[in-house]
Chain A
Amino acid sequence: QVQLVQSGAEVKKPGASVKVSCKASGYTFTSYGISWVRQAPGQGLEWMGWISAYNGNTNYAQKLQGRVTMTTDTSTSTAYMELRSLRSDDTAVYYCARAPYYDFWSGRVGYFDYWGQGTLVTVSS
């Protein structure tokens, strides 16, 4: 069965960086993309970006350009999301999600069919 298992909760100070991992199993890792979605406390869902597990191509949300980097390690079927220059409003649960569809011409990301359990990142001085 498809599983995405994320790393544990993190507490960071403003200005620091955080790197969250997402280990995939139960499917061919390089056949799908991975998106990252975050959810601030009591709020809705915000898409952060997408990475191809096949060739590492990325597509980031405009508001996070320059602060976020998504990578993959195909040898361990693991995706990573690093967010830099953390602020208090980056406090959220961060989810990885499998993205079965991506349109390379338009940069359009599809829906998300399997999700990790979430990683709480708290930014506080």
Chain B
Amino acid sequence: EIVLTQSPGTLSLSPGERATLSCRASQSVSSSYLAWYQQKPGQAPRLLIYGASSRATGIPDRFSGSGSGTDFTLTISRLEPEDFAVYYCQQYGSSPPIFGQGTRLEIK
């Protein structure tokens, strides 16, 4: 079973800054089958990115995903106040689908 390790655990930034979140897999993720989700307190997760770099429907273009193999990155180019949340990566290149432990993005 693949293990996903997200870093950092918490990221403190200010609105307008650039955020870079990392997701590292214990073994190669087949065909870049990696997704990213955003979760705000008391809400369900929301799909942001699938296939490592494809934005989901309605996701602003300040969100971008990149990477392949074992190293993946979610970048938020200019943080808006509503972007402060917890972010999870998920691999679906092998069964079962596994989530990372999350990165909390907080306002500095």
Stretch at the interface among A12-20, A68-76, A78-86, A103-111: A103-111
B88 engages A47 (CB within 8 Å)? no
Interface residues of A in 40-57 (CB under 8 A from B): 44-47
Given A47-B97, A47-B98, verify A109-B92 contact (CB < 8 Å): yes
A111 — which chain B residues lie within 8 A by C-beta? 33, 35, 47, 50, 90, 92, 97
Instruction: Tell me if B62 counts as interface (CB < 8 A to partner A).
Output: no
**Chain B residue at smallest Cβ distance from A59:** B95
Q: What's the Cα separation between A44 and B23 when bound, in Å?
A: 14
B96 engages A62 (CB within 8 Å)? yes
Q: Name the distance in Å between B67's Cβ and chain A's nearest Cβ.
A: 15
Q: Mark B39-81, 1 if CB is under 8 A from A, else 0.
A: 0000111110010000011000000000000000000000000
B100 — which chain A residues lie within 8 A by C-beta? 44
Q: Name the distance in Å between A24's Cβ and chain B's nearest Cβ.
A: 14
Given A44-B88, A44-B100, A44-B101, verify A107-B95 contact (CB < 8 Å): yes
Which residues from chain A sit less than 8 Å from chain B, CB to CB? 35, 37, 44-47, 59, 61-62, 95, 97, 101, 106-118
Instruction: Tell me if B84 counts as interface (CB < 8 A to partner A).
Output: no
A45 engages B33 (CB within 8 Å)? no
Q: Which of A45, A108, A115 contacts B46 (CB 8 A)?
A: A115
A37 — which chain B residues lie within 8 A by C-beta? 45
Q: What's the Cα separation between A112 and B44 when bound, in Å?
A: 11
A110 — which chain B residues lie within 8 A by C-beta? 33, 50, 92, 97
Q: What's the Cα separation between A107 and B88 when bound, in Å?
A: 22
Q: What's the Cα separation between A116 and B90 when bound, in Å?
A: 18
Instruction: Tell me if B15 counts as interface (CB < 8 A to partner A).
Output: no
A59 — which chain B residues lie within 8 A by C-beta? 95
Q: What's the Cα separation between A37 and B44 when bound, in Å?
A: 10
